[in-house]
Chain A
Amino acid sequence: DGGITQSPKYLFRKEGQNVTLSCEQNLNHDAMYWYRQDPGQGLRLIYYSQIVNDFQKGDIAEGYSVSREKKESFPLTVTSAQKNPTAFYLCASSRAGEITDTQYFGPGTRLTVL
């Protein structure tokens, strides 16, 4: 089955810890994205990548880092510099390069800071 997987589903972090959220896709999509969603709010773009070994900051990149070493994988690290990391994190992918490209989402990771 083609799709996007995210792990873990739930993640708990202590203050001052870095944590890494996994995102893998087997759709052969070039572009991948990370969004953050807070209760009652829309999706805010953290980082996106259109090709391997290249990525761009989104609207709220501070306190986050990413890598894109493989086409299939786009992990997100939430660093201790992110002051309010408790949120629902969504990974998405699209073919990229086409104006009509649709984004498809993984199941999400819910991060809670203890």
Chain B
Amino acid sequence: QKEVEQNSGPLSVPEGAIASLNCTYSDRGSQSFFWYRQYSGKSPELIMSIYSNGDKEDGRFTAQLNKASQYVSLLIRDSQPSDSATYLCAVISNTGNQFYFGTGTSLTVIP
């Protein structure tokens, strides 16, 4: 079983819609969770971090964490074509020494 699992997609949504990206993780003791956005040919850039159960909002982005279900998600409201990218979920292991990255979900926002 992989440490972090994501649906690879591709996920397509129309402009203005809500995009929902999901991630599950295997280490129940994990405490830190991150979403990165990666444009084609570029390096990952941090979008959101979340550490507590519940929702965390930043502009059009909302991260949701449910530790009991070992599930973290990213919602993008009012999706824009510029949001088209691959979104990587990352989890810090319980030891705190290593990030585990999912393989990413490819999102396309259709104008």
A contact face: mostly helix, strand, loop, or mixed: loop
Known: A42-B88, A90-B44, A107-B43. A102 touches B49 (CB 8 A): yes
Residues of B within 8 A of A108 (CB): 42-43
Q: Are B43 and A105 in contact (CB under 8 A)?
A: yes
Residues on B with beta carbons closer than 8 Å to the beta carbon of A35:
101
Give complex CA distance A33, B101 in Å: 13
**B46: chain A residues within 8 A (beta carbon):** 102, 104
**Chain B residues with CB under 8 A of A102:** 34, 46, 49
Is B43 within 8 A of A106, CB to CB? yes
- Report A-chain residues with C-beta under 8 Å of the C-beta of B26: none
Contact of B103 with A42 in the complex, beta carbons under 8 Å = yes
Q: Which listed residue, B96, B99, B102, touches A103 by the CB 8 Å rule?
A: B99
Q: Select from chain B the residue with minimum beta-carbon distance to A107.
A: B43
Does A48 count as interface, using CB distance less than 8 angstroms? yes
CB-defined contacts of A45 to chain B, threshold 8 Å: 98-99
Query: Considering the complex, which residues of chain A in the window 35-69 have a beta carbon less than 8 Å from any beta carbon of chain B?
Result: 35, 40-43, 45, 48, 50, 58
Can you list 12 A-B contacts with CB-CB less than 8 angstroms, sorted by A residue number?
Answer: A41-B103, A42-B102, A42-B104, A50-B97, A58-B98, A90-B43, A98-B96, A99-B92, A100-B92, A101-B32, A102-B34, A105-B44
